[in-house]
Amino acid sequence: MQTLMLKRFLIFSLLVFVAIAVQAQVDTLTFEKPDTTLIDTTSVQTLIAIDDDDDETSLDEEDYNIPIDSLLIYTEGEFPAHKLYKIWQTNQVNPYDVRLVDMPDTVAINLAGYCHPIRNVVTSNFGFRKWRYHYGIDLRVKRGDSIFCSFDGMVRIARYSKSYGYFVIVRHYNGLETTYAHLSKLFVKPEQIVKAGELLGWGGSTGRSSGPHLHYELRYLGVPINPNDIVDFQTYTTHDSTLYLNASHFDYVKEIEKIRVWTVRKGDTLGGISRKTGVSINTLCRLNNITTKTILKIGRKLRYT
Ligand SMILES: [Zn+2]
């Protein structure tokens, strides 16, 4: 009897693991599974890159469970950069599933006419937040501040999400897409033609957000680019009138892929995790900004590379 139960449990665990692995393939910006007991079955987990810190802009399951039937409707038509993107989709943040780490070519992107979304200071930068990755840049706003469109283009998404709150994604003629999240009010609709400098919405703190700010992203074929590579956030202008985009802009993806995360299980100690991962306690403390006295809660994720 017990063997049968064990078999069932093992099969279930395997199915769960496969399901998680498949989900992780959906998109580099996939969501974090909240049920840590599922993760316990594998004990070692590679980094699931998400779009946020603890209190903002991680993409939730709902952002990935939207049917993509609408792709079929849009095989023709005049959408910005349609030759490049091939598809037009008004729900999913990144329906393109493109990997650019090894892109062979350099692409020239015209940045002329750039308009800064809100002239205010950066409150959180693009990059690692502990083991998570922040794919945008946060700009301080007051609730109700006007948020402006960066380049000419067409609104692709304007809706509410649990994580982004009210947000807008605009596809631009130059091939970039820009995201504006946590807005308090939207003034545009999908497929609306917009100009650089046009009002898209009001700044706010909707979705997973700890206070009013604009979460701003610049993406190419769905893959985030460090906004600092394009924009000078001191002068609110672009560094240059052309961006020569190449594989080096996506080197950060390699850094993310190197990272491994240990999910704390019942009975785990720092010493035990150190033995199992082969990483010293000191390194574990440094990577996770903890001390040997920190209590390790079950389900907590610790970087070990
Ligand atoms: Zn952000």
Instruction: Yes or no: say if 61 and 52 are a contact pair by the CB < 8 Å rule.
Output: no
Which residues, at least 6 apart from 69, have a Cβ–Cβ distance to it below 8 Å?
Answer: none
Ligand 1 centre distance from Cα of residue 177 (Å): 16
Q: Which domains does the chain have, with CATH numbers?
A: 2-48+259-303 (3.10.350.10), 61-247 (2.70.70.10)
| Chain position carrying tokens 């994580």 | 163
* Centre of ligand 1 from the C-alpha of residue 202, in Å: 16
CA of 133 to the centre of ligand 1 (A): 10
The rounded Å distance from CA 60 to ligand 1 centre is: 15
Backbone torsions φ then ψ of 237, nearest 5 degrees: -125, 170
Residue 211 C-alpha to ligand 1 middle, in angstroms?
11
Q: How far is the CA of 142 from the centre of ligand 1 (A)?
A: 15
Point out which residues pair with 224 in neighbouring strands. 219
Residue 239 DSSP one-character state: S
Cβ neighbours of 3 (radius 10 Å): 7
Tell me the CA–centroid distance for residue 76 and ligand 1, in Å: 34
Distance 138 CA to ligand 1 centre (A): 5
Give the Å distance between the CA of 139 and the centre of ligand 1: 8
Cα 175 to ligand 1 centroid, rounded to whole Å: 22
pLDDT tens track, the chain, 305 positions: 556 666 776 666 655 555 554 444 333 333 333 322 232 223 333 333 333 333 333 444 445 444 444 444 555 568 999 989 988 989 999 999 899 999 999 999 999 999 999 999 999 999 988 768 899 999 999 999 999 999 999 999 999 999 999 999 999 999 999 999 999 999 999 999 999 999 999 999 999 999 999 999 999 999 999 999 999 999 999 999 999 999 999 999 998 888 788 889 998 999 999 998 888 999 889 888 899 988 888 988 888 88
> How far apart are the CA of 51 and the centre of ligand 1, in A?
8
Q: What is the DSSP string of 152-215?
A: SEEEEEEEEETTTEEEEEEEETTSEEEEEEEESEE---TT-EE-TT-EEEE----SS-SSSEEE
Backbone angles phi, psi at 181, to 5 degrees: -120, 165
CA of 290 to the centre of ligand 1 (A): 24
